[in-house]
Amino acid sequence: MDLKDKKVPEVVIRRLSRYYRYLDELDKDGKTRISSTALSKKMGVTASQIRQDFNYFGGFGQQGYGYNVQYLLAELKKLLGITNGYRLVIVGAGNLGHAIANYGGLKKRGFKLLGIFDNDKEKIGKKVGNIEISDISKIKDFISENKIDIAILTLPKDATEEVAEMLMDSGVRGFWNFSYTELKSKNEVFVENVHLTDSLMTLSFKISQNRL
């Protein structure tokens, strides 16, 4: 499917992974069909919104009969790059780095975690799952030898920009950035800056307003 000519809105892209999660559950439950109404209820968006979203990608099947769960799931997997087996490294072997490395969802989504790096001598050589933590000084060669696509950054804020530049030069095309700093997407390099506390603040806002 060639989407080059169609600009998919950011908000639609962000819904794709939610569709994927719901369809994956349905698939696990052995369901083979879902109506747009039922999917809409699960997702909390209107059925017409779902049809609009799917129209960016060719529609994914007939409305009258509902959607074929396995077909839709397979298409979503292709779109989301799950079938591409992207290759990852984690930079920063702190608690968050460990948590991400141990998270089964990565493998399930086709990602291949190949390396974990840190500059702390106490950590280098220790294992996370079956991956040994390596010295950050070796990351450049590792990136190019192993054709790493995505780097997960769980670094102190001040180190992030410099490390990201180096990795970009070595060929990394995506950054999943947990450091408290805003990296910018540029040219063919994509960035997702994760600000965990944003959702906590949303929660806090709601509790706070409710008590007024």
DSSP character string of the chain: ---TTS---HHHHHHHHHHHHHHHHHHHTT--EE-HHHHHHHHTS-HHHHHHHHHTTT--S-STT-EEHHHHHHHHHHHTTGGG--EEEEE--SHHHHHHHT-THHHHTT-EEEEEEES-TTTTT-EETTEEEEEGGGHHHHHHHTT--EEEE---HHHHHHHHHHHHHHT--EEEE-SSS----BTTBEEEE--HHHHHHHHHHHHHHHH-
- 186 near its own copies (CB under 8 A): no
Nearer to its own copies, 46 or 137 (CB): 46
Residues 144-173 that bind its own copies (CB under 8 A): 149-150, 173
Nearer to its own copies, 20 or 67 (CB): 20
Of the candidates 9, 13, 162, 165, which one interacts with its own copies according to CB under 8 A? 13
Nearer to its own copies, 8 or 158 (CB): 8
Closest CB 159 distance from its own copies, rounded Å:
16
- 94 near its own copies (CB under 8 A): yes
- 20 near its own copies (CB under 8 A): yes
Chain residues in the site for its own copies (CB under 8 A): 2-4, 8, 13-14, 16-18, 20-21, 79-82, 84, 86, 94-96, 98-100, 102-103, 105-106, 109, 111, 149-150, 173-176, 180, 188, 190-192, 194-210, 212
